[in-house]
Every structure is written in structure tokens, then in C-alpha cells.
Structure 1
Amino acid sequence: MIRITDRISIRKDEITEEFIRSSGPGGQNVNKVASAVQLRFDIKSSHSIADDIKERLIHIAGKKVSSVGVLIITARRFRDQNKNREDALTRLAELIRKAAERDKPRIKTKPSRRSQIKRIEAKKRRSGIKKIRKSVLSEE
């Protein structure tokens, strides 16, 4: 079990890890050793997470989620396989924690009386400037 929060834990069998060769410079080591980790977590078929959290997780993860609902996290920051594995698991846990947080409901407020008066005065001032610019027709 991987503990995410006090109430959320994910079973290890819900996560699959695949080790791939890392890209970029690295000398002789980069072409031989599969040190990068591609972690896959099937959000839609997971029983560890509530449905509302699943929806928010899919929204937060964005392009990291495939069309079938699988979250793919690739970690290749380190040259060591175990560090990359830990990095990927940490990033997964952080995404789930973000999805588990509920947004505070917005409290509707009205503009203050003074701000309304200032707004109308500014509009009247601007209107007056435009009236002065207007061409005057002579009455002949």
C-alpha cells in the first residue's frame, strides 16, 4: 500500500512500472541502462480513489492521462533507477493530493457603495469630455 493521505491509500498492484532508456546526454551509460521509469496508474478502474477525486485528477493531470484513463508519469531526472522510481511515485502522490483538496466555495460580494459612486462619477466625467469634443451645429 502506498499512503497518499490519511484517508487515501493505493494498492501497489494498481500501479505498473516500466523501465526505459533515458534520453539525452549521458555517455556510454545512457545507451545500455534502463534508468528512466514510466509509471502507469489506471484512474478509471482504481477502487482506492473516490469518483469525485478521479474526475479532478483527470482534469489536473491533463495531457498525462491517456484516452482510456491511464495516468502516465515518466521520471528520468536522475541517473539511478531507484531514485527515478521514488520521484515518479512522489509525483503521483502529489497529483492525487491536489485532486483530493476541495476548492473553497466562492462567497459572492457586492461592490461597496463608495466604489459604485466613484465608477458613476468617472463615467460622467468621461461623458463630459466627449460632449465638449462634439462639433456644434450653428443655428442659421
Structure 2
Amino acid sequence: MHTLLEKIRLKALDSCLRFTSSRSSGPGGQNVNKVNSRVSLHFELEACPLLEEPEKAFLAKKLSKILDQKGVLHLHAQEKRSQLENKQVCIKKFYALLRKVSTPKPIRKATKPAKGAIEKRLQDKKQHAQKKQWRQERWD
């Protein structure tokens, strides 16, 4: 069985995608008013049989801000003049989003502050103290 990243790399989730088309507001001159070149991609997370339950739960958590109430992800493309090109753009956006979400962030390795950074912090601290001291002086 493939992991989520392998499924993304193999583009195995294509069968779970649903597409609709509508009128675009992009380039195309007079033709833009007659042709449905805008493509919307719909990915119903819970209905996809290729994903296992832990993968669905992981994606639902990571994509929670962009999923609608029914758990459907909607992506749109209208940059190109043809429907086919916009469909390909939608698919690229979809897999790029999944790749970004499923790639773990590297763990930050703790390091000592640089000598210059320490000196700058102490210098700023000293200047701040002098400024406060100057404000405390009495002008009798």
C-alpha cells in the first residue's frame, strides 16, 4: 500500500477529482462571453476510496481552513484560454497543495547565538538604560 506522499507523487488521486466548468473572466476577447473556460476542481475528502482513514483525518486537519462544511475542497483556474489548460492548472494546484501540506516541516536545531548578536543585544540594552536614566535626571 502506498503512503500519502507516494500517492501524491504517482498522481493516484485523479479518479477522486470532479470538475465543473463555467464562464471565465480572463483573457479571450469576445470569445470569453461564449465559452466555458473556467474550471473548478472539487475533491470530496471523505468519499475518496483511495485514501485510508488516518490519511483522511490528517488531510482534514491540515486543510480544515479551506474545506467547506461538507468536507469538499474547491480550487479554480481561469488563467488560460482553454478549458483543458485550466483543468491541468487545477490539477497542478491540487497536487502542489497536498504536497505542501503533507511534507513535514524540518525541526529547528537549537544553536548558540552568534557573538555579534550578543554584543548588539547588550549594546541596545545599554542604550535603552541610558535613555531611561536621562529621563530620570532632575532639572532643578
TM-score normalised by the chain length of structure 2: 0.70
> 1:35 and 1:129, CA in 2 relative to 1: closer, same or farther beyond 3 A?
closer
Separation in 2 of the partners of 1:111 and 1:43? Answer: 44
C-alpha deviation, 1:24, in angstroms: 4.7
User: Are 1:9 and 2:15 counterparts?
Assistant: no
Separation in 2 of the partners of 1:129 and 1:27? Answer: 64
Structure 1, unpaired ranges of 5+: none
Separation in 2 of the partners of 1:121 and 1:30? Answer: 62
On the 8 A contact 2:23/2:33 being kept in 1, the answer is yes
Aligned to 2:138: 135
On the 8 A contact 2:26/2:79 being kept in 1, the answer is no
User: Are 1:82 and 2:84 counterparts?
Assistant: yes
Separation in 1 of the partners of 2:69 and 2:107? Answer: 30
| Higher mean displacement: 101-110 or 128-137 | 128-137
Considering Cα pairs closer than 8 Å and 6+ residues apart, tell me whether 1 or 2 has the greater RCO: 2
Q: How large is the RMSD of aligned CA atoms in angstroms?
A: 3.0
User: Are 1:101 and 2:103 counterparts?
Assistant: yes
Question: If each structure's helix is expressed as a fraction of its own residues, which one has the higher value?
Answer: 2
> 1:107 and 1:46, CA in 2 relative to 1: closer, same or farther beyond 3 A?
farther
Work out which of the two has the higher radius of gyration on C-alpha atoms and give 1 or 2.
Answer: 1
C-alpha deviation, 1:32, in angstroms: 2.1
C-alpha deviation, 1:119, in angstroms: 3.5
- Percent identical among aligned pairs is 29
TM-score normalised by the chain length of structure 1: 0.70
C-alpha deviation, 1:16, in angstroms: 0.8
Structure 2, unpaired ranges of 5+: 1-6
Separation in 1 of the partners of 2:133 and 2:27? Answer: 68
Separation in 1 of the partners of 2:115 and 2:30? Answer: 71
